[in-house]
């Protein structure tokens, strides 16, 4: 198939999933065309992958450049030049609206589009009254809609009163790339005296509760020597840097900023912290699990479908820093328990969320959408 993929190319779960999906599809022989304002950060070039840049013009009359419109025109151009079979957009706003416009402009040629909902496009942005009607409209108008968890499907139906079918295709991880790495040199760089390493990876948005990561680490640190590695960047980074200094943790916390090959780092961690207020799925937790790292996450949203409490790690109520700290100390003070949980976490990740098992669901879904589009025109 020839597939056009649009996503946010910066660091964020939806962009990561879209990029990994495109690369997996290309590896399976499909031609994939990424259409966005910048190349997705995790994208590795390949002769089956093409990137098409959307250049937004800066006409002086515009206070805000109309990216949605420019994107729709680019989608149409790529669909025509590359003879795309379909568009697959990740994150409803504004990508689904652009795809809807592109499909209308392409008529009578068929250009079906699939919208994949990821989380905040429904729970925060889409829920905002100023976006709700257009989010609902573009979901209803899509030729196919997928959600990354059962939780998000339920939420989408509830918030938007959606009547059309929604397919749940979970997020996935490449289990060959994401695996345990014994890298003594890297470990020694952060933990020269063999201290356990805690890790966190996110886009540092308020919903991720990165300051809670520090609170949890502080509790651990009061009981035992330990190190914390933070990957990612975003709005809360300044607050986190300030808290690190205020708590006197500058020697124990490493702020790496945005990272490309996160599996290289995750593979040496002893515990992963994701104390979010809400995760529709929690991709970063899955990536850690695949690297044999137990996770402390929260009971909100879709994370309980990913992390099994007491098996792959522990789940606490959002903002329950004290319980998270207790569980962290429990895992880290008994290395054998942590390693065993890590092994179970990888087994679970492999069994339920391996790319080689999940990608065929997308391929089958594409075929169903294409067949339905053909029969609708017959």
Q: Between the CA atoms of 231, 156, 358 and 266, what dihedral angle is there, to the nearest 10 degrees?
A: 10
SS3 198: strand
Distance separating the N- and C-terminal Cα atoms of the chain? 21
Span near ligand GMT by CB under 6 A; candidates 14-22, 100-108, 128-136, 254-262: 14-22
Task: Describe the chain by its helix, strand, coil percentages, rounded to 5.
Answer: 45, 15, 35
Cβ nearer to ligand GMT, comparing 220 with 288 = 288
Q: Is 112 in the site for ligand GMT (CB under 6 A)?
A: no
Nearest approach, Cβ of 277 to ligand GMT (angstroms)? 8
Interface pattern 69-88 for ligand GMT (x via CB under 6 A): --------------------
Q: How many other C-beta atoms lie within 10 A of the C-beta of residue 184?
A: 8
Span near ligand GMT by CB under 6 A; candidates 24-32, 92-100, 118-126, 127-135: 118-126
- Residues 279, 236: contact at Cβ < 8 Å? no
Span near ligand GMT by CB under 6 A; candidates 23-31, 58-66, 237-245, 281-289: 281-289
Q: Is 258 in the site for ligand GMT (CB under 6 A)?
A: no
Q: Is 282 in the site for ligand GMT (CB under 6 A)?
A: yes
Span near ligand GMT by CB under 6 A; candidates 12-20, 25-33, 189-197, 261-269: 12-20
- Which DSSP string do the residues of 215-246 spell out, in sequence order? HHHHHHHHHS--EEEEE--STTHHHHHHHHHH
Q: Between residue 16 and residue 45, which ones bind ligand GMT under the rule CB under 6 A?
A: 17
Cβ nearer to ligand GMT, comparing 79 with 146 = 146
The residues, any chain, with a CB within 8 Å of residue 261's CB and separated by 6 or more, are none
Span near ligand GMT by CB under 6 A; candidates 66-74, 211-219, 274-282, 292-300: 274-282
Q: Is 91 in the site for ligand GMT (CB under 6 A)?
A: yes
Span near ligand GMT by CB under 6 A; candidates 67-75, 98-106, 227-235, 279-287: 279-287
Query: Across-strand partners of 297?
Result: 315
- Kindly state the number of chain residues that form the binding site for ligand GMT, as judged by CB under 6 A: 20
Q: How far apart are CA 262 and CA 92, in angstroms?
A: 26
Q: Is 118 in the site for ligand GMT (CB under 6 A)?
A: yes
Beta strands in the chain (DSSP E): 2-6, 31-36, 49-53, 86-90, 113-117, 144-147, 167-168, 197-201, 227-231, 253-257, 271-273, 295-298, 313-316
- Residues 228, 298: contact at Cβ < 8 Å? no
Nearest approach, Cβ of 93 to ligand GMT (angstroms)? 10
Cβ nearer to ligand GMT, comparing 8 with 190 = 8
- Tokens, residue 95: 């990508």
Q: How far apart are CA 122 and CA 185, in angstroms?
A: 42
Q: How far apart are CA 125 and CA 109, in angstroms?
A: 32
The only residue of 281, 314, 353, 365 in contact with ligand GMT, by rule CB under 6 A: 281
Interface pattern 325-364 for ligand GMT (x via CB under 6 A): ----------------------------------------
Applying CB under 6 A, the residues found at the interface with ligand GMT are: 12-15, 17, 91, 118-120, 148, 171, 203, 205, 207, 278-283
């Amino acid at each position: 198939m020839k597939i056009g993929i649009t996503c946010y190319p910066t660091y964020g779960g939806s962009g990561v999933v879209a990029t990994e999906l495109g690369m997996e599809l290309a590896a399976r022989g499909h031609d994939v065309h990424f259409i966005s304002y910048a190349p997705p950060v995790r994208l590795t070039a390949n002769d089956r992958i093409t990137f098409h840049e959307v250049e937004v013009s800066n006409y002086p009359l515009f206070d805000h450049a109309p990216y949605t419109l420019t994107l729709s025109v680019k989608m149409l151009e790529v669909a025509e030049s590359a003879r795309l079979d379909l568009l697959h957009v990740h994150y409803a706003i504004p990508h689904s609206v652009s795809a809807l416009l592109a499909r209308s402009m392409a008529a009578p040629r068929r250009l079906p589009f699939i919208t994949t909902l990821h989380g905040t496009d429904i729970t925060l942005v889409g829920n905002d009254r100023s976006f709700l009607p257009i989010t609902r409209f573009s979901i209803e108008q899509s030729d196919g809609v997928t959600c990354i968890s059962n939780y998000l499907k339920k939420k989408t139906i509830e918030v938007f009163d959606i009547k059309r079918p929604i397919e749940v295709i979970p997020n996935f991880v490449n289990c060959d790339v994401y695996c345990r790495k014994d890298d003594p040199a890297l470990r020694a760089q952060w933990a020269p005296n063999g201290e356990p390493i805690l890790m966190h990876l996110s886009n540092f948005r308020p919903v991720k509760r990165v300051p809670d990561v520090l609170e949890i680490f502080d509790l651990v640190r009061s009981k035992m020597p330990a190190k914390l590695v933070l990957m990612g960047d975003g709005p809360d980074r300044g607050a986190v840097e300030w808290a690190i200094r205020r708590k006197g943790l500058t020697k124990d916390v490493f702020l790496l900023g945005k990272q490309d090959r996160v599996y290289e780092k995750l593979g040496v961690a002893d515990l992963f912290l994701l104390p979010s207020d809400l995760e529709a799925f929690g991709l970063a937790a899955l990536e850690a699990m695949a690297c044999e790292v137990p996770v402390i996450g929260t009971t909100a949203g879709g994370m309980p479908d990913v992390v099994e409490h007491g098996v792959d790690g522990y789940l606490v109520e959002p903002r329950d820093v004290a319980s998270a700290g207790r569980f962290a100390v429990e895992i880290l003070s008994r290395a054998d328990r942590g390693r065993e949980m890590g092994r179970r976490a990888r087994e679970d990740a492999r069994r339920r969320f391996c790319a080689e098992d999940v990608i065929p669901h997308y391929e089958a879904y594409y075929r169903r959408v294409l067949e339905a589009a053909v029969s609708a025109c017959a």
